[in-house]
A = this chain, B = another copy of it.
Amino acid sequence: MSVRLTLATVSKVIRVGSSLNLVSQNRKIMSSAAEFPYGKVFAKIDELKPQFIDTLGKAVKIPAVSGDESLRPMVVRKAHFLVGELQRIGFTDIQLKHLGTQPPPVEDENLQLPPVVLSRYGNDPKKKTIVVYGHYDVQPASFEDGWDTEPFELYVDEEKQLMRARGSTDDTGPVIGWFNVVQAYKESGFELPVNLITCFEGMEESGSIGLDGLIVEEADKYFKGTDAVCISDNYWLGTTKPVLTYGLRGCNYYQTTIEGPGADLHSGIFGGIIAEPMVDLVQVLGSLVDSKGKILIDGVDDMVAPLTEKEAKLYDGIDFTLDDLNAASGSDTSLYKNPKDILMHRWRYPSLSLHGVEGAFSSQGAKTVVPAKVHGKFSIRTVPDMDSEKLNKLVIAHCDKVFSKLESPNTCKTELIHDGDYWISDPNNTSFTAASKATELVYGVSPDLTREGGSIPITLTFEQQLKTSVLLLPMGRGDDGAHSVNEKLDISNYVNGMKTMAAYLHYYAVAEGK
């Protein structure tokens, strides 16, 4: 990954001349002193950089994997770590909101959901109020997956100026970033230009279970008077150009369970005489999507909003090439060659991915087992105008139909594990405009306005329940490897990301309208 990263960076430097941008960036910061009165905050962020890296290191050390029940105590421990940091910086009204028991499928029926961390900084009725959302849970990771260093130890690569750890970019880095911004304002001797409310959850990587209900519950209580919501849980499209994001795909995650024998069996003794669940499962999984990426479930494509000429034009100006995709994927395995096709299939068309199989042999070596019960995991990224519940019905009916044709004596059950809706916003509203100014100030370029292929399930709930706009303000780059091995956050993105957050608070505070 390191080689690819370097190549991608080099080609980008040559292509867009980012060294020139850095010069113009410095000039801009100086010339815009009048319109951005908090230059000292930027200096303080630079000064405190070592401490901010250290804090991130402490945070990512806690393996807060929400998808692994056995690690649930670690998720809770990380919530308590955040509370300690909030207290240290001076946040008030800190509350750990408990969300109750996790619904099935779970191993432990009494498994408690991790708490949502709410807190305030400032409560001045003359100021606007911004809710910042992030999540402190992370995807699973283990060194054996192929990491260069321990995933739950922040490794600072001085040469490449990056920080490697699970959660560094998704989403612990941005969460700690907000803490640091408030600390920098405070230590620079400034009041925060807005009232800030934090909403940090611990189940985002597992479907944000329970958060919807909390937002409904607190909309007129803790969140009363919110003017805007800012979410930092996404990434630049590429590796050099900042973006603001106004659309997200949703995600419906499914599990097909095929069950036969009472326990795993020896393939020598039972091979050829009993119906093997794995044999049935690959037939079901193989019927969902073809090698060209086409979803084979009847009725799914019919729900997708048709592409208008106006929308098609939006994709023309975006700074993105096939090389960017190849650099990010570390391969030449794109299904499309044209950048416009790539972006449309990432942003406005659904996709179906096969994630893996639980219950079968999954280690190195050669185990001659016939797995008794296997769970095939797959998900569909959803887009306008797909109906989530209708989709579930189509998926389950499809799997049942394919399995039934096999005439297998095993049993098959397909279920939704979690879902999150797609989301689309207006990229020209007050909040996006403020974020655009902040980005220009810090990076010296106008951000690309993009959508994203990934989902942040709670975006839509915030918009609807708090009746405010939601802004997606990314900190990391497109090659950060969220959910992958060697997840990283460039130190420059950490620092400039905090500066962008700091400036956004100002520009939003002084803008007319919400």
Residues of B with C-beta under 8 A to A4 = 262
Q: Is the CB of B293 within 8 A of A486?
A: no
Residues of B with C-beta under 8 A to A367 = 67, 139-140, 205, 355-356, 377, 483
**A 451-494 contacts with B by CB, 8 A:** 452-455, 478, 481-486
**A 285-313 contacts with B by CB, 8 A:** 285-286, 289-293
In the complex, A417→B335 CA distance in Å? 32
Whether a CB of chain B sits under 8 angstroms from the CB of A430 is no
Q: A268-B452, A272-B335, A286-B283 are in contact. Are A360 and B363 (CB under 8 A)?
A: no
Say which residue of B350, B354, B362 sits within 8 Å of A276 (CB atoms): B354
Say which residue of B260, B369, B406, B486 sits within 8 Å of A333 (CB atoms): B260
Q: Is the CB of B368 within 8 A of A273?
A: no
Whether a CB of chain B sits under 8 angstroms from the CB of A398 is no
In the complex, A4→B263 CA distance in Å? 11
Number of copies: 2
**A 202-257 contacts with B by CB, 8 A:** 205-207, 235, 249, 251, 253, 255
Residues of B with C-beta under 8 A to A185 = none
Q: Is the CB of B274 within 8 A of A280?
A: no
Whether a CB of chain B sits under 8 angstroms from the CB of A370 is yes
Q: Is the CB of B279 within 8 A of A290?
A: yes
Q: Is the CB of B261 within 8 A of A275?
A: no
Whether a CB of chain B sits under 8 angstroms from the CB of A329 is yes
In the complex, A329→B262 CA distance in Å? 6
In the complex, A445→B302 CA distance in Å? 69
Binds B, one of A12-20, A118-126, A341-349: A341-349
Q: Is the CB of B275 within 8 A of A249?
A: no
Distance in Å: Cβ of A205 to nearest Cβ of chain B: 8
Whether a CB of chain B sits under 8 angstroms from the CB of A352 is yes
Residues of B with C-beta under 8 A to A483 = 264-267, 367-369
Residues of B with C-beta under 8 A to A183 = none
In the complex, A331→B408 CA distance in Å? 13
Say which residue of B282, B377, B481 sits within 8 Å of A286 (CB atoms): B282
Beta-carbon nearest neighbor of A346 in chain B: B273
In the complex, A455→B260 CA distance in Å? 24
Residues of B with C-beta under 8 A to A267 = 251, 351, 353, 355, 379, 381, 454, 483
Whether a CB of chain B sits under 8 angstroms from the CB of A158 is no
Q: A266-B454, A267-B351, A268-B381 are in contact. Are A333 and B249 (CB under 8 A)?
A: no
Whether a CB of chain B sits under 8 angstroms from the CB of A55 is no
Distance in Å: Cβ of A152 to nearest Cβ of chain B: 16
Q: Is the CB of A262 within 8 A of B353?
A: no
Beta-carbon nearest neighbor of A294 in chain B: B272
Report which residue of A290, A291, A365 has the largest number of chain B beta carbons within 10 angstroms of its beta carbon.
A365
In the complex, A502→B140 CA distance in Å? 53
In the complex, A443→B490 CA distance in Å? 72
Residues of B with C-beta under 8 A to A363 = 67-68, 140, 358
Residues 1-18 of A, flagged 1 when their CB comes within 8 A of B and 0 if not, give: 100100000000000000
Q: Is the CB of B279 within 8 A of A354?
A: yes
Say which residue of B139, B205, B282, B366 sits within 8 Å of A282 (CB atoms): B282
Say which residue of B139, B273, B353, B369 sits within 8 Å of A336 (CB atoms): B273
Whether a CB of chain B sits under 8 angstroms from the CB of A84 is no
Q: Is the CB of A357 within 8 A of B357?
A: yes
Beta-carbon nearest neighbor of A270 in chain B: B329
Q: A266-B484, A279-B289, A346-B272 are in contact. Are A261 and B353 (CB under 8 A)?
A: no
Residues 185-197 of A, flagged 1 when their CB comes within 8 A of B and 0 if not, give: 0000000000000
Q: Is the CB of B275 within 8 A of A354?
A: no
In the complex, A249→B266 CA distance in Å? 13
In the complex, A109→B408 CA distance in Å? 43
Distance in Å: Cβ of A274 to nearest Cβ of chain B: 5
In the complex, A263→B377 CA distance in Å? 19
In the complex, A509→B425 CA distance in Å? 88
Residues of B with C-beta under 8 A to A364 = 67-69, 107, 358
Distance in Å: Cβ of A264 to nearest Cβ of chain B: 4
Whether a CB of chain B sits under 8 angstroms from the CB of A81 is no
Residues 49-86 of A, flagged 1 when their CB comes within 8 A of B and 0 if not, give: 00000000000000000111100000000000000000
Ranked 7 nearest A-B pairs via Cβ: A262-B330, A268-B454, A272-B351, A67-B365, A356-B361, A356-B360, A362-B362
Q: List 9 A-B contacts (CB under 8 A).
A: A139-B368, A139-B369, A266-B454, A266-B483, A271-B346, A276-B354, A278-B354, A279-B353, A356-B367
